[in-house]
């Protein structure tokens, strides 16, 4: 994936292609797509379906992971390669969710996955999210100069000191988030943990509430977090008004307005445990550059061991309570 990828809604035909053995179960989605000015083109899973998808050049393809007693991973890879210039998105639909299936789908080029049975309204939200304007950054390709990164040294130093000196895991994470929120003039900064296989998540800590821990959330309502967990990229949504889930997000946030969202992967030993989420409102004058992205990404990486330790401690406590 390139260092920076911009996804925007096409001004032309809004075609959504669906590849599946059965058209009947997409009737509700077809109605919603029509109401939203999309055109649904159903392509039956026959031998020539890959060629038909490529000829159609849709904005987005929904494809079943297993069809005709075989995997569609080779087809996904072929479609993504052939339609690279049109930046066609691929959503994989499957009733066999597993970490291996998720990883293999992403490796083949899929942008997201949908678990069966599915809600047509949720699928429409996923479609809108994939086609909205946002930027993806590969952490390894950020071009901030060393002198620019050094400007964030104070923040990183304070973060590391806090994480090492404050013994209580919850308190240390909260103090870090509060420091990040102050620097970014953020309406809210939080940490979310995610389990893709279980398709569930939780808010571990939040800068605006020191007593908030392990608040259950539905990952389906946070596609930007799901994308970070899936791909390990940094997601920057400049204009949240384009986000199909704006109403859901605003109902959960105490601030009056949110303009932008920054989401960073929190990793530990090559595993993405969760995300650092920074929400910017009208009160923030932060002009986001590679310098900021790299600095906040370092903060996210610093949280990795603490989040892993917290997760392990939680498992031990649960086992002890059961015994």
Give the three-state DSSP class for 54.
Answer: helix
Contacts of 281 (CB under 8 A, 6+ apart): 186, 187, 255, 256, 257, 258, 259
Q: Which pLDDT tens digit goes with each residue over 283-309?
A: 677 788 888 898 999 999 999 999 998
> Minimal CA–CA distance to 240: which of 193, 281, 294, 190?
281
pLDDT for 292 equals 87
Cα gap 50→46, rounded to integer Å: 9
Over range 40-62, report the average pLDDT. 92
> Does residue 273 contact residue 196 with C-beta atoms inside 8 Å?
no
Is residue 144 within 8 Å of residue 255, measured between CB atoms? no
pLDDT band of residue 253 (cuts 50, 70, 90) is very low
pTM (2 d.p.): 0.80
Average pLDDT over residues 147-155: 71
Report the C-alpha gap between 31 and 19 in whole angstroms.
17
What is the pLDDT at residue 269? 87
Range in 8-12, 65-69, 118-122, 167-171 with the lowest mean pLDDT: 8-12
Percentage of residues of the chain with pLDDT beyond 90: 45
DSSP string, 155-172: HHHHHHHHHHH---HHHH
Work out the average pLDDT over 216-229: 89
Q: Structure tokens of 175?
A: 């103090």
Q: State the Cα–Cα distance between residues 188 and 58, nearest whole angstrom.
A: 37
pLDDT computed for residue 281 by the predictor: 82
| pLDDT score of 57 more than 50 | yes
pLDDT of residue 55: 94
| Rounded alpha-carbon distances, angstroms, from residue 139 to 134, 136, 148, 261, 264 | 16, 9, 16, 17, 9
Would the pLDDT of 174 be above 90? yes
Q: How confident is the model at residue 244 (pLDDT cuts 50, 70, 90)?
A: low
Per-residue pLDDT band for 245 (boundaries 50, 70, 90) equals low
For residue 255, name the pLDDT band (cuts at 50, 70, 90): very low
Please give the share of the chain, as a percent, with pLDDT higher than 70.
87
Q: Which whole number is the average pLDDT over 218-222?
A: 85
Mean pLDDT across 108-127: 89
Phi, psi of 260 (to 5 degrees): -140, 160
**In sequence order, which ranges of 42-201 are alpha helices (DSSP H)?**
49-56, 73-82, 99-108, 120-131, 146-150, 153-165, 169-184
**pLDDT of res. 312:** 84
Does residue 288 contact residue 236 with C-beta atoms inside 8 Å? yes
227 with 112: CB under 8 angstroms? yes
pLDDT tens for 256-290 read 467 889 999 999 988 899 999 999 887 677 788 88
Q: Is the pLDDT of residue 151 over 80?
A: no
N-to-C CA span, the chain:
47
| Average model confidence (pLDDT) across the chain | 84
């Amino acid at each position: 994936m390139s260092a920076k990828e911009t996804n925007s809604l096409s001004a032309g035909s809004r075609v959504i292609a669906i590849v599946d053995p059965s058209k009947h179960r997409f009737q509700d989605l077809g109605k919603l797509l029509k109401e939203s000015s999309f055109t649904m083109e159903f392509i039956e899973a026959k031998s020539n379906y890959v060629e038909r998808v490529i000829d159609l050049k849709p904005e987005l393809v929904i494809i079943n992971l297993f069809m005709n007693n075989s995997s569609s991973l080779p087809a996904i890879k072929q479609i993504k390669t052939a339609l690279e210039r049109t930046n066609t998105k691929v959503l994989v639909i499957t009733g066999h969710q597993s970490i291996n299936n998720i990883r293999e789908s992403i490796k083949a080029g899929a942008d997201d996955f949908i678990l069966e049975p599915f809600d047509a309204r949720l699928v429409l939200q996923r479609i809108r999210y994939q086609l909205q304007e946002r930027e993806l950054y590969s952490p390894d390709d950020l071009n901030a100069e060393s002198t620019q990164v050094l400007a964030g040294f104070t923040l990183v130093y304070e973060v590391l000191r806090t994480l090492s000196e404050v013994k209580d895991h919850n308190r240390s994470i909260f103090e870090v988030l509060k420091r990040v929120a102050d620097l970014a003039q953020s309406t809210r900064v939080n940490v979310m943990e995610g389990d893709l296989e279980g398709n569930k998540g939780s808010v571990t800590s939040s800068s605006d509430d020191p007593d908030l821990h392990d608040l259950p959330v539905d990952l389906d309502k946070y596609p930007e977090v799901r994308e970070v967990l899936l791909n390990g990229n940094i997601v920057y949504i400049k204009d949240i008004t384009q986000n199909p889930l704006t109403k859901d997000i605003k109902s959960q946030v105490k601030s009056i307005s949110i303009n932008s969202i920054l989401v960073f992967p929190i990793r530990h030993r090559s595993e993405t445990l969760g995300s650092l989420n920074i929400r910017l409102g009208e009160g923030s004058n932060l002009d986001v550059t590679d310098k900021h992205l790299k600095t906040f990404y370092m903060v996210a990486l610093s949280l990795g061991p603490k989040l892993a330790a917290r997760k392990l401690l939680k498992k031990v406590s649960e086992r002890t309570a059961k015994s």
